[in-house]
Structure 1
Amino acid sequence: MAGSVLFCHGMPGSAADARLLAAGNPEWRVVPLALLDHAPGDVVKALPGGHGPAHVVGFSIGAMAAMRLAAQVPERVERLTLVSAAAPLSLGDFLPHMAGKPVFEMAMRRPRALAAMTWGQGALGRVAPGAMIKALFAQAGEMERTLLADPEFRAVLTAGFSESFGAKRAAYLDYLRAYVSDWAGLLAQVRCPVDLWHGSKDTWSPLAMATALQAQFEGASLTMVDGAEHYSTLARVRL
């Protein structure tokens, strides 16, 4: 084994997201953090005890959690890898180009509507998870559609929906509210090396987010995965 990495999953998502990273990196032990067991501001509590400086991977909105860890406990984070990272909205004019724009606008302005919508998503996910997946990936490109043909990937999605829209929906909503707040000030506190991986066709986190983040971190690398989207980039990361 090359070692272990700590993994911060996406939102919606769950620890099962880590399977996508682990499948492409069998020499690494991927340890998912229980993000939804803690408030976004208390993500440090999700770190395993007795663990030395770690390589932390953050996927999608999980990148916010990973960057918060690097900023708050720099002695515990030796490297960041940010995959399909959702950057702070204040870094650029991203929102009009995001597939999740309606969700984030509700998080900012209509929290009750967002709560009602996620309750409905939870109900749909319980009775017809396939319909939920079909709706969310209706505009998916070739690489994402290829992933969708894999029952293991569909199981990963179903696990994430079950947790984020079900038992831990309140924590998921907290993460959405934290994401749409202005947390850009954290970035200046990140001192460790940063690597970014981003799909050229990502519509959930537009590529402009990756270039904006790269500009924030001295010496940061950016690997663009040609033709990849959100999840298909995570499946292609090589640590």
Structure 2
Amino acid sequence: MHNRVRTADGRQLMVERFGDPRGRPVFLLHGTPGSRLGPAPRGMVLYQRRIQIIAYDRPGYGDSDRLRGRSVADAVQDVATIADALGLERFAVAGRSGGAPHALACAALLPERVTRTAALVGLAPWDADGLDWFDGMTASNVREYTTASADPEELAARLTPRAAAIGKDPGRLLEELRIELTDNDRMIVADAGLRSMLLRNFREGLRNSADGWIDDALALCSPWGFEPADIRCPVMIWHGEQDVFSPVGHSRWLAERIPGATATIDPAAAHFAALRALPEILTWLLRDLPDPPEQHQRPA
């Protein structure tokens, strides 16, 4: 079920709800690049567990209007606006890859509404003290973030034609990544169902422009607008030690600085293994959300 939500400044956000519309709510913030149609647990699983997943296209992706110069922290007001439109007072938030810092922003800046937060295969702040930000990162990502930091116009010139090509043939992105994928990632991406979800995700996110991709990269290597150390709600950090897209050192840095954070590092996993870890992480996220009222009939 999709909804169009208007922000206070007049932008449109495209929102998708999966699973039980009366279930316990979890915002799922997509990766970079990505869209609201990114991989998520199957609807049957969500109904059985009485969960609703709320996903939305970050500004510039899919059918969400661009917000030029947005920071990571700007996602917080968009999430709050969507929650208000859907009548949700309290909710959990999970973010994967480029969505993970945006999920942590919600934890830091919406403490009265966010019950728990999970950050899967995420990144640390660009100015993280004591972290070699590029250590263990694949060459293509090093190049992308270095360019974003030094020459935003050059980043846009590179990503615009690339996004147009991927929007028409999203398999191109997986082919581009293939030479950099670890064995663990190759095995996961080879699954036909998961591959289909990834291709749909990339096609939708880049269907209209590269703006979301460009703005994500710029936001991730600029000041985030909050301090991870200020987070007070329970946080789960999950990472695969073999990850070459978001190196595991980023999650270790975050886990040391977020008070009381729980860190799970899988020594055999890489980047895309986060998709398989999500159902278990949902169980952890839901612990502080009240059970929904009993339903005697599944909604049509």
TM-score in same-fold range (> 0.5): yes
Matches within 5 A, 1:146-185: 146-183=187-224, 185=226
The alpha-carbon distance between structure 1 residues 126 and 209, as it changes in their structure 2 partners (threshold 3 A), is: closer
**Residue of structure 2 in register with 1:98 after alignment:** 137
Counterpart amino acid of residue 94 in structure 1: W
**Secondary structure at 2:88 match in 1:** coil
CA distance 1:163–1:104, shift in 2 (3 Å):
farther
CA shift, 1:213, in A, is: 0.4
> Is there any run of 5+ residues in structure 1 with no aligned partner, and where?
none
Query: Contact between 1:119 and 1:165, CA under 8 Å: does it hold in 2?
Result: no
Aligned partner of 1:65 among 81, 87, 102: 102
Question: Separation in 1 of the partners of 2:228 and 2:217?
Answer: 18
Candidates 122, 128, 133, aligned match of 2:174: 133
Distance 1:98 1:22, change over 3 A: farther
Indicate yes or no: 2:264 matched with 1:223: yes
Q: In the alignment, which residue of structure 1 is the partner of 2:7? A: none
Compared with structure 1, are the counterparts of its residues 51 and 210 closer, same or farther at alpha carbon in structure 2 (3 Å cutoff)?
same
Cα separation, partners in 2 of 1:164 and 1:115, compared to 1, 3 Å: farther
Question: Which of these two proteins has the greater Rg computed from alpha carbons?
Answer: 2
Q: Which of residues 25, 31, 37 in structure 1 aligns to 2:54? A: 31
Matched, 1:17 2:38: yes
Shift of 1:25: 6.2
Is residue 4 from structure 1 mapped to residue 30 from structure 2 by the alignment? no
**Equivalent pair of 1:13/1:159 in contact (CA under 8 Å):** no
Residues 146 and 10 of structure 1, relative CA distance in 2, 3 Å threshold: same
CA offsets 1:52-106 (integer angstroms, 9 cap, x no match) = 2211001111111111122222112111111011111222112243221111011
Amino acid corresponding to residue 189 of structure 2 in structure 1: L
Q: Is 1:48 aligned to residue 60 of structure 2?
A: no
Going from structure 1 to structure 2, the CA distance change for 1:30 and 1:225 (only over 3 Å counts) comes to farther
Identity %: 26
Q: State the match for 2:239 in structure 1.
A: 198
Q: Which has the higher contact order (CA 8 A, sep 6+)?
A: 1
Give distance in 2, aligned partners of 1:110 and 1:55.
36
Q: Is the 8 A contact 2:107 2:231 kept in 1?
A: yes
| More divergent stretch after superposition (195-204 vs 63-72) | 63-72
Task: Say if 1:124 and 1:132, in contact at 8 Å, map to a contact too.
Answer: no
1:73 is matched by which residue type in structure 2?
A: L
Shift in Å, 1:12: 0.7
Paired position in structure 2 for 1:75: 112
Question: Residues 188 and 126 of structure 1: is their aligned pair in 2 closer, same or farther, counting only changes over 3 Å?
Answer: closer
1:86 aligns with 2:126: no
Name whichever structure is richer in helix by fraction. Answer: 1
Moved more, 191-200 or 140-149: 140-149
In the alignment, is the contact (CA less than 8 A) between 2:170 and 2:200 conserved in 1?
A: no
Q: Please give the alpha-carbon distance, in whole angstroms, between the structure 1 residues aligned to 2:275 and 2:225.
A: 23
Distance 2:205 2:142 in 1: 18
User: Structure 1 pair 157/116, CA: closer, same or farther in 2 (3 Å)?
Assistant: farther
Contact 1:122 1:161 in 2 (8 A): no
Between Structure 1 and Structure 2, how many residues are aligned? 238
TM-score by length of 1: 0.88
TM-score (norm 2): 0.72
